[in-house]
C-alpha cells in the first residue's frame, strides 16, 4: 500500500498531462541533441577507421610519365623497405555528360580486379570485374555524371579516340576523393578495354605500403626510394606523394566536422543542463504553495524533498525513454548521411554505451541537482508567505537598476503613446530574473550558434574569394604535353569572346635538405610576372610577391617554413628539378599548407633554367563575359577549337566551376552545422515555451485583472507574446555579439582542419537578419500556446485560482 504522499506524486505526474508533456519534451530535446551528436561522432570515427583499414591503404603514390610493366612492379615489391606494392593505369579523359558538354573523368585500369593489394577497390553492384568495352563507375561519382547503371556514356581519350561504353556496375573506392567534391568522376576499365580505346598496355601509377606505414617520415623516405628506383630505371616522375598515415582523402574535413560536432555536443549539453534547471525550477515554483501546505500540516523537509526528487527523476526517465531511441535513430541517419557524403562504409551502427551513460546521467542526476537549489529556496519560505493571497503574481520588479531603467520617470516619453501593453510585457520580462537568465542563456547560445553557422558559411566564401583572388583568368586549359606558348595563345585568341591569354609551366620538384635528405613532392608553378599577367599575387603572409626583375626568386607556403626549420625568408632553398639540384631564394611566403606544397617561380627564369624556353603546360584565358554560362560556353568553344587544331587538352577548369566545387564542399559542412543549429534553436524554443507557460501559470491572477479592466482575448495573449518576443530579441542581440568569438573559434577549427589556417573572417548580415526572423517566429510560436491558454481563462476562474 503506497503512502498518500506518493499518490500526490503520481497525480502530479499524470494529472496535469500538458505540464508533464512540456517538461518531458523540454528535457528530451536536450538529451536527444546530445545523443545524436555524441553517437554519430563515435559511429563515424569507427566507420572511418574500419573502412580505411579494410582497403590496405597506401603510404604513397609514385606516378610515371612512361608506362611500366609487371617486372618493374615486382622489383618494387622486392624492395626490403616496401611491405606491399601495386600498380594501375591512371588516365585523365573526358566524358560527355550532355550533348556536346564534356567533363573531366579519371579512368583507372587495373590488371586483376580480384587481387588488388593496395588501395582496394571493391564491387558495389552490377558486373565485376569490368567487362570488356564496358565501364564501372565509382559509386559516389554517379550523381556527378548524371547517369545510371545501364546507361551508355561517351568517353574521349587524350588521343581524341572516342568510344561509347555501357556502365556495367558500380565500384567502391574510398581511397579517392569523393567525386562530388571536385566534380571529377572515376571510371574503372580492363586492359582489354584500354586497348580498344587505342591506348598501349602498361601502368603509370605505383602505390606502395611502407614497412612501417604509421611512420610518416619513414613512409616518405620509402616513397622517395621507390621514386629513385623508378628514375634509375629510366622513368620520368611527374608526381609522387606521401599519404597522411591512417587517413582517407577527406579525413581532414571529416575530422574537422567531427571536432565541430563534438563542440556542438558540449554546447547542447550545456543547453540541456540549463533547460533542465529551468524546467525543474519552474516546476518547483509552481508547487511552492503545495510545499507550504505540506509543511503546514507537518511534512518533514526530507519527506517533501524525496517526493519532488522522485517526481523529477520520473520526468527524467520519461524524457530518456523518448530521447534515447530517437537519438539512436537520428545518430544512425546522420552517420549514414555523412558516410555517403564522404564515401565510406560504416562498420557498426551500435550506439556507444558511454553516450547512453552520458544521457542517463544528464537525464537523471542533473535534474536532481538542478532541483536542490530551488527546492531549498522554496523550503526557506514560510507557509504563511507561500500561501498569501495578498500578492499579485510572482517575481519581484522595481528593485534594481534594470527595473528602474524600465519604469517611472525614465520612460516619460512613452506616456502619450498608447503602449502600456508593450511596457507591461517588457517589464514582465524582467520579473523572474533567474528564470530569464536561464532562458536567455539557452536562447543566446542557440542564437550565437545559428548566426555563427552563417558566419562560417560567409567566411568560407571569403576564403574561397581569397584563394582565387589571384586568379585573374576565367578558363585554364591543361595540355597532355607541352606546347609552344605563342602558338596556343594565338589559337586561343582566334576563338571569339577570348580577350586575353597567358601561360605557365608546372613541374614537380623536391626540396633537398642540408643533410642530403629530400622532401616529398612539391609543385613548381611558374606564371609570367608582369602587369598584364593573369596570375596575381596570392595572399602574402611575409615578404613579397615575385617581380619581373627577379631571377631565382621563389614564393613558398607559410606552413613550409614551419615544417622545414632550415628555411626562412631571404634564405636559399635547394630544389631538385628533373633530377638536377638548383638553388632559389625565398622572397616571400603565402598563406597555404605544406602538404603537396606549391612553390611559385618566375616563368622566364624557370623556362631558361630548365631549357624549356617558350613552352607552356597550361593556357589561361579571360573571356569577354564572366558569368558562369558564358565562361562555360567559351570553354566548350576553346576545347572544340583546340581539338580541330590537333592540340591535346587533358583538363579544362573554369573559375566559376572551381568556385562552385569549392563551395559545394563547404555547403555540405554548413548544411550539417545548420541541422545542429536548428536542433539547438529547438532546444532554445522549448526552453522559452516552458518559461512562458510557467509565467502564465504564475500570473493567472493578473490575467484575471487584465480581463476585468477590459482586455480582450487578443490583448491578454499579446502581453505574453510580446514578452516572449522581448526575450527572443534580447537573445538575438546577445547571440549576435557572442557569435563573433564563436565564429572565430569555428573558423579556426574548420580552417585548421581543412587548410591548416583559419578561415577568412566574415560576419554574415543576411544570417543575422534571417535569425532575427526565425527568433521572432520562434518566440511568437513558443509564447503563443501559453498565451492562447491564458486568453481562454475566464475572470472567475483566475480570480478563484489557487
Partner 1 sequence: MEYAKVTMMRSGSYSNSYQAETQKSVNLDGRLVDLREVMKTYQGTAGTFTALKGVDLQVESGAFVSIIGKSGSGKSTLINVITGIDRPTSGEVIVDEVRVHALNEEQIAIWRGRSIGVIFQFFQLLPTLTAVENILLAMDYGAEYPAAERPERAMHLLELVGMADRAHRLPNSLSGGQQQCVAIARALANDPVLLTADEPTGNLDSKSAEMVFHLFENLARAGKTILMVTHDNELAARAQRTIRLADGKIVDEFTNR
Residue with cell 558566419: 455
**Which one, 408 or 741, has the nearer CB to partner 1?**
408
For residue 713, CA distances in Å to 701, 707, 709, 718 come to 15, 8, 12, 8
Q: Nearest Cα to 368, choosing from 414, 274, 305, 416? A: 305
Give min distance, CB of 423 to partner 1, in A: 6
Give min distance, CB of 662 to partner 1, in A: 53
Give min distance, CB of 392 to partner 1, in A: 6
Q: What residues have CB less than 8 Å from 419, skipping those under 6 apart?
A: none
**Which one, 301 or 410, has the nearer CB to partner 1?**
410
Give min distance, CB of 702 to partner 1, in A: 6
Q: Nearest Cα to 304, choosing from 281, 280, 318, 288? A: 288
Q: How far apart are CA 331 and CA 261, in angstroms?
A: 12
Give min distance, CB of 38 to partner 1, in A: 42
Give min distance, CB of 680 to partner 1, in A: 31
Give min distance, CB of 399 to partner 1, in A: 9
Left, alpha or beta for 146 (phi > 0: left; psi -120 to 50: alpha)? left
Which cell is 348 given?
Answer: 557498426
CB-based burial, 306-329: b 16+ in 10 Å, e otherwise: ebbbbbbbbbbebbbebbbebbbe
Q: Nearest Cα to 113, choosing from 83, 89, 144, 93? A: 89
Q: Which residues pair with 443 in a beta bridge?
A: none
Give min distance, CB of 256 to partner 1, in A: 48
**Which one, 161 or 388, has the nearer CB to partner 1?**
388
- Is the Cβ–Cβ distance between 210 and 222 less than 8 Å? yes
**Which one, 127 or 402, has the nearer CB to partner 1?**
402
Give min distance, CB of 723 to partner 1, in A: 10
Which cell is 152 given?
Answer: 551508355
Cis check: omega of the bond before 129, within 30 degrees of 0: yes
**Which one, 19 or 431, has the nearer CB to partner 1?**
431
For residue 111, report the phi and psi dihedrals to the nearest 5 degrees. Answer: -65, -50
**Which one, 345 or 713, has the nearer CB to partner 1?**
713
**Which one, 399 or 580, has the nearer CB to partner 1?**
399
- Is the Cβ–Cβ distance between 221 and 60 less than 8 Å? no
Q: What residues have CB less than 8 Å from 446, skipping those under 6 apart?
A: 271, 677, 680, 681, 683, 684, 685, 731, 735
Q: How many CB atoms lie within 10 A of CB 702?
A: 20
Give min distance, CB of 726 to partner 1, in A: 12
**Which one, 18 or 410, has the nearer CB to partner 1?**
410
Residues contributing to the site for partner 1 (CB under 8 A): 389-390, 392-393, 396-398, 407-409, 415-421, 423-424, 427-428, 431, 701-702, 704-713, 715, 794-796, 799
**Which one, 380 or 415, has the nearer CB to partner 1?**
415
The DSSP string of 106-151 is EEEE-S-TT---SS--EEEEE-SSPPTTEEEEEGGGHHHHT--TT-
Instruction: Note the maximum CA span of the chain.
Output: 103
Alpha helices in 494-592 (DSSP H): 558-563
**Which one, 18 or 794, has the nearer CB to partner 1?**
794
Give min distance, CB of 8 to partner 1, in A: 17
**Which one, 309 or 402, has the nearer CB to partner 1?**
402
Give min distance, CB of 253 to partner 1, in A: 52
**Which one, 391 or 514, has the nearer CB to partner 1?**
391
Q: How far apart are CA 272 and CA 292, in angstroms?
A: 29
Amino acid at each position: 500500500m503506497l503512502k498518500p504522499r506518493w499518490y500526490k506524486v503520481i497525480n502530479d505526474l499524470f494529472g496535469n498531462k500538458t505540464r508533464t508533456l512540456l517538461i518531458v519534451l523540454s528535457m528530451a530535446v536536450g538529451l536527444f541533441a546530445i545523443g545524436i551528436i555524441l553517437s554519430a561522432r563515435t559511429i563515424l570515427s569507427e566507420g572511418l577507421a574500419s573502412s580505411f583499414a579494410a582497403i590496405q591503404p597506401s603510404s604513397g603514390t609514385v606516378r610515371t610519365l612512361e608506362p611500366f610493366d609487371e617486372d618493374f612492379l615486382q622489383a618494387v615489391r622486392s624492395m626490403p623497405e616496401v611491405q606491399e606494392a601495386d600498380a594501375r593505369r591512371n588516365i585523365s579523359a573526358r566524358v560527355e555528360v550532355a550533348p556536346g558538354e564534356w567533363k573531366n573523368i579519371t579512368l583507372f585500369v587495373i590488371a586483376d580486379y580480384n587481387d588488388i593489394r593496395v588501395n582496394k577497390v571493391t564491387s558495389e553492384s552490377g558486373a565485376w570485374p569490368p567487362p570488356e568495352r564496358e565501364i564501372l563507375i565509382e559509386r559516389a561519382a554517379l550523381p556527378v555524371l548524371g547517369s545510371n547503371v545501364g546507361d551508355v556514356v561517351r568517353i574521349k581519350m587524350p588521343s581524341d579516340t572516342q568510344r561509347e561504353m555501357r556502365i556495367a556496375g558500380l565500384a567502391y573506392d574510398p581511397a579517392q576523393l569523393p567525386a562530388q567534391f571536385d566534380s571529377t568522376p572515376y571510371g574503372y576499365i580492363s586492359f582489354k578495354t584500354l586497348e580498344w580505346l587505342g591506348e598501349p598496355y602498361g601502368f603509370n601509377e605505383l602505390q606502395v605500403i611502407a614497412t612501417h606505414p604509421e611512420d610518416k617520415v619513414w613512409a616518405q623516405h620509402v616513397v622517395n626510394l621507390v621514386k629513385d628506383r623508378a628514375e634509375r630505371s629510366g622513368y620520368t616522375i611527374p608526381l609522387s606523394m606521401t599519404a597522411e598515415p591512417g587517413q582517407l582523402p577527406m579525413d581532414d574535413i571529416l575530422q574537422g566536422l567531427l571536432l565541430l560536432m563534438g563542440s556542438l555536443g558540449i554546447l547542447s549539453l550545456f543547453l540541456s543542463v540549463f533547460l533542465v534547471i529551468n524546467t525543474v525550477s519552474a516546476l518547483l515554483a509552481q508547487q511552492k504553495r503545495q510545499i507550504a501546505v505540506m509543511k503546514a500540516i507537518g511534512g518533514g523537509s526530507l519527506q517533501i524533498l524525496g517526493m519532488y526528487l522522485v517526481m523529477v527523476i520520473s520526468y527524467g526517465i520519461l524524457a530518456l525513454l523518448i530521447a534515447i531511441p530517437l537519438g539512436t535513430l537520428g545518430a544512425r541517419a546522420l552517420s549514414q548521411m555523412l558516410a555517403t557524403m564522404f564515401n565510406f562504409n560504416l562498420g557498426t551502427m551500435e550506439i556507444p554505451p558511454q553516450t547512453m551513460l552520458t544521457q542517463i546521467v544528464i537525464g537523471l542526476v542533473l535534474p536532481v541537482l538542478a532541483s536542490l537549489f530551488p527546492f531549498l529556496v522554496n523550503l526557506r519560505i514560510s507557509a504563511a508567505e507561500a500561501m498569501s493571497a495578498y500578492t499579485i503574481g510572482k517575481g519581484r520588479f522595481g528593485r534594481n537598476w534594470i527595473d528602474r531603467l524600465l519604469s517611472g520617470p525614465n520612460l516619460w516619453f512613452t506616456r502619450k503613446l498608447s503602449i502600456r501593453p508593450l511596457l507591461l510585457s517588457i517589464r514582465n520580462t524582467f520579473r523572474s530574473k533567474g528564470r530569464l537568465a536561464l532562458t536567455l542563456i539557452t536562447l543566446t547560445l542557440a542564437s550565437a550558434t545559428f548566426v555563427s553557422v552563417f558566419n562560417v558559411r560567409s567566411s568560407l566564401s571569403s576564403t574561397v574569394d581569397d584563394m582565387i583572388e589571384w586568379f585573374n583568368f576565367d578558363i585554364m586549359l591543361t595540355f597532355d604535353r607541352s606546347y609552344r606558348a605563342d602558338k596556343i595563345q594565338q589559337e586561343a585568341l582566334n576563338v571569339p569572346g577570348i580577350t586575353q591569354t597567358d601561360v605557365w609551366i608546372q613541374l614537380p620538384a623536391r626540396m633537398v635538405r642540408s643533410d642530403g635528405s629530400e622532401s616529398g613532392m612539391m609543385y613548381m608553378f611558374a606564371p609570367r610576372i608582369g602587369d598584364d599577367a593573369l596570375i596575381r599575387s596570392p595572399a602574402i603572409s611575409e615578404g613579397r610577391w615575385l617581380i619581373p626583375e627577379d631571377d631565382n626568386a621563389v614564393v613558398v607556403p607559410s606552413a613550409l617554413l614551419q615544417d622545414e626549420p632550415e628555411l626562412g625568408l631571404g634564405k636559399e632553398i635547394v630544389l631538385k628539378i628533373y633530377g638536377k639540384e638548383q638553388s632559389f631564394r625565398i622572397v616571400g611566403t603565402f598563406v597555404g599548407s605544406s602538404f603537396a606544397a606549391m612553390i611559385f617561380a618566375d616563368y622566364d627564369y624557370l623556362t631558361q633554367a630548365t631549357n624549356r624556353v617558350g613552352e607552356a603546360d597550361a593556357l589561361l584565358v579571360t573571356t569577354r563575359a564572366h558569368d558562369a554560362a558564358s565562361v562555360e560556353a567559351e570553354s566548350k568553344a576553346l576545347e572544340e577549337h583546340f581539338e580541330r587544331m590537333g592540340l591535346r587538352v587533358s583538363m579544362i577548369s573554369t573559375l566559376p566551376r572551381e568556385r562552385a566545387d569549392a563551395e559545394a564542399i563547404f555547403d555540405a559542412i554548413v548544411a550539417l552545422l545548420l541541422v545542429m543549429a536548428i536542433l539547438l534553436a529547438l532546444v532554445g524554443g522549448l526552453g522559452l515555451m516552458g518559461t512562458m507557460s510557467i509565467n502564465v501559470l504564475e500570473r493567472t491572477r493578473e490575467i484575471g485583472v487584465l480581463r476585468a479592466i477590459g482586455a480582450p482575448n487578443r490583448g491578454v495573449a499579446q502581453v505574453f507574446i510580446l514578452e516572449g518576443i522581448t526575450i527572443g530579441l534580447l537573445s538575438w542581440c546577445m547571440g549576435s555579439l557572442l557569435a563573433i568569438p564563436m565564429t572565430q573559434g569555428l573558423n579556426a577549427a574548420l580552417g585548421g582542419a581543412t587548410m591548416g589556417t583559419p578561415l577568412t573572417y566574415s560576419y554574415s548580415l543576411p544570417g543575422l537578419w534571417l535569425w532575427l526572423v526565425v527568433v521572432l517566429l520562434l518566440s511568437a510560436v513558443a509564447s503563443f500556446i501559453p498565451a492562447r491558454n491564458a486568453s481562454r481563462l475566464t475572470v472567475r476562474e483566475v480570480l478563484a485560482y489557487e
